[in-house]
Amino acid sequence: TASCSMTPGQPEESTMSNVPAGAGIAWRLTSAWRSASSAANCQELSATNQTLRKLEEENNSLRSALAFRERAAFQLMPARVIARDASTWYQKIIIDRGSEEAIEPDMPVLTEEGLVGKTTVVSEHSSIVILISDENCRVSATVEGTRESGIVKGERAISGGVPTIGLGFLSKTANLQPGMNVYTSGVGGVFPSGVSIGKISTFKVRELDGYATLVPSVDLSNIEHVFVVVSERPPEAVVK
Residue-level pLDDT at 41: 78
Rounded to the nearest 5 degrees, what angle is found at the Cα of 198, between the Cα atoms of 194 and 203?
115
Start-end of H helices in the chain:
24-71
In sequence order, what are the beta bridge partners of 225? 80
Measured distance CA(148)–CA(131) in Å, rounded:
23
Q: Is 10 helix (H, G, I), strand (E, B) or coil?
A: coil
In tens, the pLDDT along 98-113 reads: 999 999 999 999 999 9
Residue-level pLDDT at 238: 42
- Nearest Cα neighbor of 170 from 198, 200, 193, 191 is 200
147 sits in the region (left: phi over 0; alpha: psi -120 to 50; else beta) called alpha
By mean pLDDT, which of 9-13, 45-49, 63-67, 210-214 is the weakest? 9-13
In tens, the pLDDT along 227-236 reads: 999 987 554 5
- Provide the 10 A C-beta neighbour count for residue 77: 19
Measured distance CA(55)–CA(49) in Å, rounded:
10
Residue-level pLDDT at 55: 72
Backbone angles phi, psi at 226, to 5 degrees: -140, 175
Read off the pLDDT of each residue in 170-197 and give the average, rounded to a whole number. 95
* 239 confidence band (pLDDT: 50, 70, 90): very low
Whether pLDDT at 38 is above 90: no
Mean pLDDT of the chain: 83
